[in-house]
Structure 1
């Protein structure tokens, strides 16, 4: 049996799952579950984004995005408006409720970042960020090959 070449993806996965589990508990008071906060923050940061662009940004399938957006709309966090130039497309906007919740969500994300980088110096922190960004870009090219929709 061939052994795994490197455990980095398992470590990244464990890191991601740990953060999402903690945040799902923390954000429950806002009626956000199953990592809906990642959709909410991106809509707040990119008002008017469409669902395909949001899916591409988050590297998730359209069905996952649709479910998350529907739940965010049901909770009053997101509104959608038909695109003025392409009537088939809908643009997503954060509500005032979303803008208010965005502040504590980002504060919690910053707390998670601080915990993750505990014991790192500035050079180590920058190196990790640079290398992870490169890895994300590399796998992003591969991800696009498997998706049937484009931005």
Structure 2
């Protein structure tokens, strides 16, 4: 088995893809990585911050910080949950809804970049392997933090 670090490549892919998307979304008041939050909220209107964290497999503190920033920028609004007043639901503002097509376009562009040189089957296999790695790393991380 090759002992070369997978993390090194994943990290480099992430940094470079963030740089490309940032360039494509230049001129909008949106920080690196925040478009993931906007996209998930757009496809899950009324989602809670906890659900958002779970979908993105990101810690609650990171999600809270991103949501706060997106609210400050006018992309997201919070409304108290009618069923349980302790919780808030997240929605896009009109400004948030306007940027979603640009985010989707950037994501589609990146899928083209990622899949370049691979057959559809090869690309699907890579995605499946990465999902399995993420699930394992996420599970181990949760286990270590909940000991």
Q: Same fold (TM over 0.5)?
A: yes
Residue-pair matches, total: 145
* Distance of 2:93 and 2:26 partners within structure 1: 18
RMSD of aligned residue pairs (Cα, Å) = 1.8
Cα drift, residue 25 of structure 1: 3.0
Contact 1:43 1:92 in 2 (8 A): yes
| Aligned counterpart for 2:41 among listed residues 35, 40, 43 | 43
- Residue 124 of structure 1 is matched in structure 2 by 122
- 1:9-33 CA distance string (max 9 Å, x none): 2111110111112222332311101
* Distance of 2:144 and 2:70 partners within structure 1: 27
- Residue 5 of structure 1 is matched in structure 2 by 3
Structure 1 portions without partners, runs of 5+: none
* Distance of 1:132 and 1:10 partners within structure 2: 14
Structure 2 portions without partners, runs of 5+: none
Contact 1:23 1:35 in 2 (8 A): no
Say whether residues 1:142 and 2:132 are aligned partners.
Answer: no
Larger displacement relative to structure 2 (17-26 or 81-90) = 17-26
Cα drift, residue 85 of structure 1: 1.6
Contact 2:81 2:87 in 1 (8 A): yes
- Residue 86 of structure 2 is matched in structure 1 by 88
| Aligned counterpart for 2:25 among listed residues 24, 27, 31 | 27
SS of the residue corresponding to residue 32 of structure 1 reads coil
